[in-house]
Structure formats: C-alpha cells, structure tokens
Structure 1
Amino acid sequence: MSSLQFFQLNKDTLFEHIFERYVRLEDNINDLKQDLGIQNRNRNQIEINIEPSDEQQQYIASIKNNKNKQQTKKNLKRGRRRRSGKRKQDLEINPDTQKALGTTNTASISIVKNTFSFIVDQSLTSLNSSRDNNNSTTGYVLWSITPFFLKWLLYDPAANVFRSGISNYPLERESLEEEEVDTPLKKDNPYVQISSILNLQSISNKEIAKDSKEDHKKCVIELGSGISGILPIVLGNYVDYYIGTDQQGILNKLKYNIKENCSQIILREIYSKSLNIEPCGDDSSIVEKNDTDTERKALERPKLFLEIECIDWETFKLDNESISSLYPSLDTMKQLESKTVYIVAMDVIYNDFLIKPFLNTIQQLRAYYLEDDNNGSVTVVILIGVHLRSQEVVTTFLEQAIEQDTWSVYSIDTLEWKKSRFNLYMIK
C-alpha cells in the first residue's frame, strides 16, 4: 500500500529535500529510462492508454468488494442501529492503509473505474525546427509525466485525498522545523486541507464519501498543455470547467487532438466555444424526436465546459479592463463562483529562463480568483509535476516559489513518485 506524505518546504528543508530526491534517483538508476522524458520520439502518431496497473486493479476490486459487504451489513443491521441511535463502522482498515487513503472508512474512499484510450498526433519535426520552434517550446510532443500523473490521480490508493478531499491531512513532522513549532500556524494547525480536484458526486453518488459537503463546481486551468489534449479529456470527465492553455503556435494541434479524441469524454456532455462544440441542450423536444436511450442518457449527463486559450507566460498580464477580451474563458470561469480552482502544470520546469514568468502567471491567476473571496471560502491549489533533470533548475524553481510570502509549498511524496524520475509539488 502506497502512503501519501506532505512535506512543507522552506529555506531550511529545501536543500535536504533536493539532496534526498536526487540520491534516490541514483539508487534507482538501473530501473529508470535514461531519456529526456518524451513519451515516444520515434513516431508522430502514438497510442496512449490510461488504465490502472495490475496492482491498482486489485485495489479497486478490493474496495468495491468492501463497499458491497459494508452495504449488506448496513441493510441487515439498519433496524438495530435506528433503535440504538449509534453508527458503527462495519469494516476496519489497517493503520497503513488508513494513512495511505486519508480515511478510516471504506465509504469515504473514491474509486475511478473508467479507462481511456487516445491516438495523439505529435509534431516531432516542429519540435526540432528552428523555423517552427524559434522559442524552444517543448509542447509539440507528449511528455511521459502526463500519463504517469493521470494514472496516479485516478487509480492509485495514495491519491484518494485528491479524489475525495480531506479537511485535516497531517503534515509530516520532519517538515516542521523545531524553531517554527511554537508559531501559531505550526502549533495549532499542523495539517493541510485538500479540496478534491474531481467532481465525482455529479457522476455517481455511490463513488464518493457520504459525508462529503463538497457539492460546488470543480474548475481546472492547465498551464503549458502541449499538443496532446490528454489532461483536458481525462480530467474533463470529472470536472465542470476546464481551460487548457499554451502558446499560440501549439493551440491548433491541441484543438485537433482534443476533437479527434473527444469520444473519450464519456461521463459528461461537452460544450466548447473555442472548439465549436455545442451541447445537446435540455430541450425536451430533442428527446421526443430522437427517442433512444443514447440521446436520453446524453441529456442526463452533467456538462463540461472545455475551452482552449492562449496564455504566454512572458507577456501574461491580468487586469479588469482587458480580461474579458483577452482571456474570456478565465473571466467566464470566475463568474461561476467556483469554490475550488486547480491550476495544473506538467513538465514545464526545464530551464531557468521560464521560472520567473511561470511563477508570475500563477501569482496573477491565484490573486484573480481569490480577490473577491472575503470569507475564505475559495480554494486555489496549484499542482506542478516536475521531471527531475537539472538539479540546479529544480532548486531555483523551489527557491523562488518559497520566496512568495503568501504561498505554502509542499512536496507530495508517495512510493510511486519516489521510484520515478518525477516529483509532484503543491502550492497553496
């Protein structure tokens, strides 16, 4: 069972984290591919499957079995519980599993059973062309961290806290420096609150925690989407509003791949102005005219608003006067008054030059969605997947992120990430 740990990074713990992470890379060198991280650099058209590993399939099956047993016991004991007024947990989970899942109750474990298959068109020629790629963007190909992140988020037991959400997940004690323990923040709240990134409630009430109070819309902004469209499509099944962003030269191929694979959006009805995709709508006359189970089910599905927008970190500037014209999707997302906004970026930290513009873009987006939140009800979470190449670049990125006074920076550690070439960081 893979447990999840949050290590809060600061100027004192940062270098120890970097040292330990790169030492582990050396220890695992014989088990890791020695490449830059391109998923497939030999073919322009590649097939990608997002599905659980054998171990993850066993986990999903065991949780489903436990849920079924739990429901059977509840049905048998319902009368007795009503008389006693007590709610007894039917199935116990061992302590290691409790820590991994962030819960002691199988009813609050979220499982995802869906699998996804893609045909992705890459642009290997453009990646290596000085004419097409004069700014050295890496978005013309699919990088291996993206499918790795998705498989972990959807199927790994350690990612349950991101699927379900949790109000008080404990920080690792090693991340609390002795000289800081007595400060009010560290002493009174050595926990981190995680809002779920997936809206499983609108898909199936059976697959989420029964005591969950998160019924608001889930919104995701992806920075540096690249051409593949894998993240927008897979996560689009489980969120309400998704904005994929990149430089202008990437967007046409990104839109093409999304349209070619939009059949993989199986749990929601997609609407997109930028992709020219219209929803079926709620018009009952459509149902009467096309009276089939397929059309009826389509109208019953929750909606996904999926937009593609150009964001160049080096020129990005948000202001109230121009946002509706320059970044209409960002403006529309804010009007939804969502309580949870995730900013996701995979493998965008690869040289020193882009670190400051990238962090500045995050800072502006975060401030924009929090600016009218007077009661602290809005949560903005940034997840950044980093391919561990240059130790100097990763260190510089984390140093500059930690310097932001209003940010808390965490390393998300699980067995799956530790034995890979990747690391996942969270900023709140």
Structure 2
Amino acid sequence: MTLKLQRLGEDLIHEHICERYIELASRTESLKQDLGIFDRTRSDISIDIEPPPRTSKKRTKKKLPPTILDDRYNLTVEQSITSLHSNRDNSNSTTGYVLWSTTPFFLKWLLYDPQAISFRQGGIVDANVIYGMLKPSTGILELGGGTAGIMPVVLGNYVGTYICTDQRSLINRMQSNIKNNLLQLNKRRCVSKTLGFEPQFDDDEPAVNLETMPLDWEKFHLSHSTTPAELQPLAKCSTVYIVAMDVIYNDYLIDPFLRTLSLLLKFYQIKKYNTHCLVGIHLRAQEVVTEFLEKAVLEFDLPFSYIQSDSLDSSRFSLYFM
C-alpha cells in the first residue's frame, strides 16, 4: 500500500471512524489496551528513537552515505506520575506531566517509515502538495508539547525553527528535559532566547532556533500588534507545520484547540508561509474522536485528511493532515 490522503467530508467522517474502530477491534490481541502512557512505572524513563531492524539479507560492498533512515536518538525524560494524578497541579490539566506513546510513534513513523517519505522530503499525494517537513526551510510549532520535550530535540536536528508550547506551569519541566537531551540535537547548533543559548555571529554552523513558550488555548488571541515574537519563525523559513500529538482526549478541549488552531493557520497563511497541520490522536473514546472531526470539518471548516498508511492503519493511532 502506498500512502494516501482521505479527505474527510461530512459524508465520510462516520465511515472513517467506523473503519478505524473495527480495525482496532480486530487487533485486540496485538495492540496494548491501555490509555497510552509510555511508561507509568518510572519517573526517569529512556526512549529510543531508532529505525526498525533491517530484514533484508542482501549485502553490498559499497558503503552508502548515511541518511535520515540511519539516524538514532536515545533520550531520557523526567516525568511526574504524581502530578499526573494531582487535582492541584496545573489547574487540573495534568496530562502533560508524562510522556504519551503517540509522540514516539509519530517520530518513528516520520523518520523511518518508507511511506512517510513525502512528509520527510516533500511531494504530491492525491493532488495535495506536501512541503518537506525535515528541511532547514521549515518551522514547526508544537501545540500541547508537554514536559517531555523529545520532539523539539529530535526534529530540531532537521528544521530551521522549532517552537514548543504548552500551559505555563509545564514550561520549566519542558525546558529542563530539552536541556538534558541536547547532546541528541547534534546536527544543528541550538540557538534559543528562552533556553539561554545565544547566537554566535562568527559561526557558520547550521543552527535551529528552538524556543519554548506558554500558550493557553482558552485564553489565546492573535492580532498584528500583539503577536508574540516567539510565534514568528525565522525569516529563512518558508514552510510552517503546526503539530499536535495526543491533545484530543476529552470533549472539553475540542473547541479551545480548534479555535487556537484556526487563528494560527490564518496568521501564518496571511504571512505567506506554506502552512500545514498534523494532528495525531490515540484512539480511545470513539465519541470524542467523532466530535473532534465533526467540529473541525463542519464548524471550523478545516480541510482535514486522514493519512492512510500500513503502519498507521494497524496501530492505535490516527494521523490527520491539513
């Protein structure tokens, strides 16, 4: 199967949801039946973002130059299981204190899956122009990044700008985890006001501008006069990807998230950036996923498509592209 984009119009949303949950039901023995916390037994966890084992027995004497498919990342994250279950921390919004499985799954899919090559390098899929995500001309804005901070470190190796956001009470832990894993950001030098890494003007080494900033969906507003400087990618970036992994898990969050997403999309489109969005969802409550897609497509007029690929279709995750 080659990668396809299934445009989700009003008449296809329920058909799509039914197909995904029927597929899940057929794989109950092979898929984990949990909420999706990466590791709920430890506060200090290790995550390996590595390509799958090669199955080919063919050998070649010619040594090929390394590519993204050869890249490996070994990260450590300090998470707080206690805060996850607290009613006091972060105004009852505590899910960002732990690492959820959607993010490592997405990173492995994006970096290594043969069917994800259009998202790595750019291309045309079902008449949709996809601008390469892993390029120095790309800026990524992550919504609901949580404290783990592994996406900024891994993807910071390939892009020109990475802005990781979440609620204010999570930012310090996010920054700490990013700093603790900076040795894994080894392809580009990190420049960051919020992390305290100043640019070196006499250095021609490729750099990523990596910033963290608080962004509360319920309070977020945008105007030409009050736009935070951190939201404006470097001038060298021509493409913006807005990325959100596992932020849709209850109906209360749907409207604030979609309002924020719509404002950001309009802002970057007005600024003439090539703008895309990727939303990853861990398939839990069917009614929540259905409500999200219905509101996104019918109320907010967001032209989402479901990304169809073998590894996604056989997983507990769905990835939506716009």
Q: Which TM-score tier does this pair reach, normalised by the shorter chain? A: over 0.9
The secondary structure found in structure 2 opposite 1:256 is: helix
List gaps (5 residues or longer) in structure 2: none
Q: Structure 2 residue aligned with 1:273, among 170, 193, 196?
A: 193
CA deviation after TM superposition for structure 1 residue 300, in Å: 4.7
Q: How many angstroms apart in 2 are the aligned matches of 1:111 and 1:321?
A: 40
CA deviation after TM superposition for structure 1 residue 194, in Å: 0.5
CA deviation after TM superposition for structure 1 residue 398, in Å: 0.4
Q: How many angstroms apart in 2 are the aligned matches of 1:243 and 1:282?
A: 22
CA contact (8 A) 1:123 1:140 kept: yes
CA contact (8 A) 2:160 2:237 kept: no
Q: How many angstroms apart in 2 are the aligned matches of 1:307 and 1:133?
A: 21
CA contact (8 A) 2:258 2:300 kept: no
Distance 1:58 1:346, change over 3 A: farther
Aligned counterpart, 1:397: 292
CA deviation after TM superposition for structure 1 residue 192, in Å: 0.9
Distance 1:366 1:66, change over 3 A: farther
Aligned counterpart, 1:122: 79
CA contact (8 A) 2:175 2:195 kept: yes
Q: In structure 2, give the amino acid aligned to 1:197.
A: M
Q: How many angstroms apart in 2 are the aligned matches of 1:407 and 1:399?
A: 10
Q: How many angstroms apart in 2 are the aligned matches of 1:150 and 1:372?
A: 28
Q: How many angstroms apart in 1 are the aligned matches of 2:264 and 2:23?
A: 34
Distance 1:240 1:274, change over 3 A: same
CA deviation after TM superposition for structure 1 residue 135, in Å: 2.4
Larger radius of gyration: 1
Q: How many angstroms apart in 2 are the aligned matches of 1:370 and 1:338?
A: 13
Q: In structure 1, give the amino acid aligned to 2:164.
A: G
CA contact (8 A) 1:267 1:301 kept: no
CA deviation after TM superposition for structure 1 residue 301, in Å: 2.9
The secondary structure found in structure 2 opposite 1:255 is: helix
CA deviation after TM superposition for structure 1 residue 381, in Å: 0.5
Distance 1:341 1:404, change over 3 A: farther
Aligned counterpart, 1:414: 309
The secondary structure found in structure 1 opposite 2:179 is: helix
What RMSD, in angstroms, separates the aligned Cα atoms of the two structures?
A: 2.2
Percent identity over the alignment is 45
Distance 1:67 1:359, change over 3 A: farther
CA deviation after TM superposition for structure 1 residue 65, in Å: 8.8
Give yes or no for the alignment of 1:49 onto 2:48. yes
- Any idea what the Cα deviations from partners look like across 1:70-116, whole Å, max 9, x if unmatched? x9xxxxxxxxxxxxxxxxxxxxxxxxxxxxxxxxxxxxxx7432100
Q: Structure 2 residue aligned with 1:169, among 105, 110, 125?
A: 125
Distance 1:329 1:65, change over 3 A: farther
Q: How many angstroms apart in 2 are the aligned matches of 1:65 and 1:28?
A: 41
Q: In structure 2, give the amino acid aligned to 1:338.
A: C
CA deviation after TM superposition for structure 1 residue 337, in Å: 6.2
Q: How many angstroms apart in 2 are the aligned matches of 1:397 and 1:58?
A: 41
Distance 1:143 1:65, change over 3 A: farther
The secondary structure found in structure 1 opposite 2:296 is: helix
- Any idea what the Cα deviations from partners look like across 1:260-302, whole Å, max 9, x if unmatched? 00111110011000001124x243xxxxxxxxxxxxxxx4531
Question: What TM-score do the two structures reach when normalised by structure 1?
Answer: 0.71
Distance 1:405 1:356, change over 3 A: closer
- Any idea what the Cα deviations from partners look like across 1:16-47, whole Å, max 9, x if unmatched? 00000000000001001111000000100001
The secondary structure found in structure 2 opposite 1:233 is: helix
Q: In structure 2, give the amino acid aligned to 1:348.
A: V
CA deviation after TM superposition for structure 1 residue 136, in Å: 2.6
The secondary structure found in structure 1 opposite 2:51 is: coil
Distance 1:231 1:372, change over 3 A: closer
CA deviation after TM superposition for structure 1 residue 169, in Å: 1.9
Aligned counterpart, 1:349: 248
CA contact (8 A) 1:127 1:133 kept: no
Alignment of 1:209-248 (within 5 A): 217-248=137-168
Alignment of 1:202-351 (within 5 A): 217-279=137-199, 281-283=200-202, 299-323=203-227, 327-331=228-232, 333=233, 336=235, 338-351=237-250
Q: How many angstroms apart in 2 are the aligned matches of 1:120 and 1:255?
A: 11
The secondary structure found in structure 2 opposite 1:305 is: strand
Deviates more, 1:395-404 or 1:385-394: 395-404
The secondary structure found in structure 2 opposite 1:322 is: coil
Aligned counterpart, 2:257: 358
Q: In structure 2, give the amino acid aligned to 1:10.
A: G
Aligned counterpart, 1:155: 112
More strand by share: 2
Deviates more, 1:337-346 or 1:379-388: 337-346
Distance 1:276 1:42, change over 3 A: same
Distance 1:128 1:368, change over 3 A: same
Q: Structure 2 residue aligned with 1:198, among 124, 127, 134?
A: 134
Aligned counterpart, 2:280: 385
Regions of 4+ moved over 4 Å: 64-68
CA contact (8 A) 2:154 2:184 kept: yes
Aligned counterpart, 2:37: 38
Distance 1:405 1:230, change over 3 A: closer
Aligned counterpart, 2:95: 138
Q: In structure 2, give the amino acid aligned to 1:14.
A: I
- Any idea what the Cα deviations from partners look like across 1:361-412, whole Å, max 9, x if unmatched? 1111111111143xxxx31100000000010000000001112575321000
CA contact (8 A) 1:232 1:244 kept: yes
CA deviation after TM superposition for structure 1 residue 419, in Å: 1.2
More helix by share: 1
